[in-house]
Structure 1
Amino acid sequence: MSAETTRHVVLLRHAKAERTDGDDHERPLAARGREDAPAAGRWLAGSGVLPDLALCSTAARCRETWRLALSELPEQPRTVYEERVYRASPGELIALLNEVGDEVRSLVVIGHNPGIHELADALTGEADGDPLARMHRSGLPTSAIAVLAFTGSWRDIEPGAGRLTAFWAPHA
C-alpha cells in the first residue's frame, strides 16, 4: 500500500456515563449513553468509513460505548484496548497514531475529552463544508464522531495534517 494512500481517523468520544464518587476508570454508561452509542455505530456504518482497527481506552465507559457501537457495524475491526488512550493529551494520542501500521487505512479511536476533542482540533488543517463550524459550535459532546482524512503514512501524521470530512453528534 502506497504512502500516498488516503487514510481516515475516526474520533469517537465515549457515550454519556454515570456520575459516581467511585473509581473514574470504572464508570458505566448512563441510560442515555446506552441509547446514543448504538446510534453512533449506525451513523458510522452509513458513513462509508469503516475502520480496519479500533484503539479503545480501557475505561469501562469507552469499552461499553465501543461494544454497543460495534454491534451496528457490518464488519468488526480488530480492537486493541489501549490504556494510553485514557486521559491522553493530543500529543500522546498523536504518538499512538504514529505507531499504527500502514496496512491500516481507517482507524477509530474511542476516548475521552478533553484529549479527543483537542486532537480533532489539532489534526484539522482543512474542513469540507460545515463540519468544522458544527464541531466548534457543539464541542465534541458524548457519543460525537469526527472523521478526518489525510494522505501519507501514520508515522507522519502531525498537527494540521488532516481534513475534517464529517462531524456527527446524537443531539446536535
Structure 2
Amino acid sequence: MKTLLLLRHAKSSWADDRLSDFDRPLNDRGREDAPRMGKLLRQHDLVPDLIIASPAKRAASTAKRAAEAAGYEGEIRHADDLYLAEPEVYLGLARRADDRIATLMLVGHNPGIEECVGLLAGHDEVMPTGGLACFRLPIERWTDLRTTGHYELVGVWRPKEL
C-alpha cells in the first residue's frame, strides 16, 4: 500500500508586479497556511517519506514550511518539470519514486494539481491554494500507479475549512 499526497502551494503575493510568476513569494496567509497543513500531516500520521516540490518560490516555500511543521526530516527535492505541470507529470514523478517510499508528497500548482486529484479520484475536487489531497493506493510498486483506476481519496483538506 502506498500513500500519495498532493499539496497545492499556499497563497502567494501579487504585491510586486515586477516579479516573474516563478519568483512570487507567499503572502501572510500563505505563510500561516503552509505550516497548518504540515501540522495536519503530523496529526493524521501522514508525514511523508519524501517530498518533491516545484522550484517556484511559492511552492518551494510551502513545501519547506509544511515539512518543518510536520516534523519531516528528509531533504526536499525540487523537480523543474512540476512548475505549472500537467497531471501526467505528477504521476510520472510518482512512478519513478523508490519503492521504499511508502508516503510521497508532491507540491505544485493548479490547474495540474486539481486535474490530477480529479483523475485519481474519478470526480472533481476543488483544490484552493494550500489544499491537500491524500490518496491510498493499493499498489506495492510506484510503477504500478495508473491513470485508469480510481483510487481511495482519504481526504481533501482546505486551509479555510480547518
**TM-score, with normalisation over the residues of structure 2?**
0.91
Number of the residue aligned with 2:11: 16
Runs of 4+ with deviation above 4 angstroms: none
CA RMSD of aligned residues (A): 1.5
In the alignment, the residues of structure 2 paired with residue 91 and residue 71 of structure 1 have an alpha-carbon distance, to the nearest angstrom, of 28
- Note the residue ranges of structure 2 that are not aligned, 5 or more in a row: none
Moved more, 103-112 or 43-52: 43-52
In the alignment, the residues of structure 1 paired with residue 40 and residue 137 of structure 2 have an alpha-carbon distance, to the nearest angstrom, of 21
1:145 is the counterpart of 2:132: yes
1:167 is the counterpart of 2:162: no
| Aligned amino acid, residue 145 of structure 1 | L
* Contact 1:150–1:161 (CA under 8 A) maintained in structure 2: no
1:161, distance to aligned residue in structure 2 (A): 4.3
How many residues are aligned here? 157
Percent same amino acid at aligned positions? 33
1:75, distance to aligned residue in structure 2 (A): 3.4
In the alignment, the residues of structure 2 paired with residue 33 and residue 66 of structure 1 have an alpha-carbon distance, to the nearest angstrom, of 11
In the alignment, the residues of structure 1 paired with residue 34 and residue 89 of structure 2 have an alpha-carbon distance, to the nearest angstrom, of 25
| Aligned amino acid, residue 163 of structure 1 | E
**TM-score, with normalisation over the residues of structure 1?**
0.86
1:124 is the counterpart of 2:112: no
1:47, distance to aligned residue in structure 2 (A): 1.2
Q: String of CA shifts for 1:10-49, please: whole Å, max 9, x gaps.
A: 0110000012433111100011101111111111111112
In the alignment, the residues of structure 1 paired with residue 79 and residue 10 of structure 2 have an alpha-carbon distance, to the nearest angstrom, of 18
1:105, distance to aligned residue in structure 2 (A): 0.4
1:155 is the counterpart of 2:143: yes
In the alignment, the residues of structure 1 paired with residue 13 and residue 79 of structure 2 have an alpha-carbon distance, to the nearest angstrom, of 22
